[in-house]
Amino acid sequence: MTQKIPVVEKILSANDRLALENRARFDAAGVFAINIMASPGAGKTSLIEQTVRALQGKLRVGMINGDIATSFDADRAAAAGAVAVQINTGGDCHLDAVMLQSAIAQMDLTSLDLVIIENVGNLICPADFKLGAHKNVLVASIPEGDDKPYKYPGMYRGVEAVVINKIDLLPYVSFRMDFFQDGIEALNPGVVQFALSCRTGEGLQAWMDWLVSQVAGAKRF
């Protein structure tokens, strides 16, 4: 038991070093990378599909999908027009920098402007493992309930943007938007928030505009 904390710290330290290497590879290729996290069913893949379709002709998009099994989500992104690479974690509840490094090696980064990483559906483990992405994005959804920032503070603290998906369900679900957003603000003051619906398209343009501006800003350096 006395070795548990040192071992965990050593693992995370090694992961952080590899994450820096991943970031350097993205930067060298002029690619902007985002890491999208969420619980299962929140709508990560739907958001990625909508994003890829909307950005066709504007940005060259690659997608790296992390899942315990299957390639369903990567297939959906590829069908939408992204260059997609699948990572099957074999049971691990998150992606790490080593897994991402192997996926990057399968991509021609010089042919891309944006890489979207879809992490494993989980509101705990992914927050602890840096990947090398420039921005971390959390997708929440109305059916999950308005208490999630209070129950999973680690996830909400460590992101640069929060997407609140499935707002078309607000008339049918007991969800206090002010309570939810107050929880986010208490944990992560000033974090960018997008309320949208991948099904109806409401609010998607603001997300697209932000993403395009982030990519453009990164390419100035």
Residue ranges in 56-127 assigned as alpha helix (H): 72-80, 97-104
In this predicted structure, the answer to whether residue 193 has a pLDDT above a threshold of 60 is yes
Tell me if the pTM is above 0.85.
Answer: yes
In this predicted structure, the answer to whether residue 194 has a pLDDT above a threshold of 50 is yes
Place of tokens 């509840």: 93
In this predicted structure, the answer to whether residue 5 has a pLDDT above a threshold of 70 is no
In this predicted structure, the answer to whether residue 18 has a pLDDT above a threshold of 50 is yes
Quick: pLDDT tens for 102-120. 999 999 999 999 999 999 9
Own/partner pairs for 197-200, CB < 8 Å, 24+ apart?
197/165, 197/166, 197/167, 197/168, 198/43, 198/46, 198/47, 198/49, 198/50, 198/165, 198/166, 199/46, 199/166, 199/168, 200/168
Determine contact, residues 147/171, Cβ cutoff 8 Å: no
- For the domain spanning 4-219, the CATH number is 3.40.50.300
Give dist(CA 36, CA 33) in Å, integer. 10
In this predicted structure, the answer to whether residue 20 has a pLDDT above a threshold of 60 is yes
Q: Which two tokens stand for residue 87?
A: 């990572």
Give dist(CA 215, CA 30) in Å, integer. 9
In this predicted structure, the answer to whether residue 220 has a pLDDT above a threshold of 60 is no
CA 120 to chain centre: 9
Domain-wise residue ranges, the chain: 4-219
**Residue 108 or 125, more confident:** 108
State mean pLDDT over 97-101. Answer: 95
CA end-to-end span of the chain: 46
Quick: pLDDT tens for 134-185. 999 999 999 999 999 999 999 999 999 999 999 999 999 999 999 999 999 9
In this predicted structure, the answer to whether residue 4 has a pLDDT above a threshold of 60 is no
Share of the chain above pLDDT 90, in %: 83
Amino acid at 26: F
Using 50, 70 and 90 to split pLDDT, how confident is the model at 1? very low
In this predicted structure, the answer to whether residue 97 has a pLDDT above a threshold of 60 is yes
Share of the chain above pLDDT 70, in %: 94
**Residue 109 or 128, more confident:** 109
Mean pLDDT of the chain: 92
In this predicted structure, the answer to whether residue 75 has a pLDDT above a threshold of 60 is yes
Q: Which two tokens stand for residue 3?
A: 């070795």
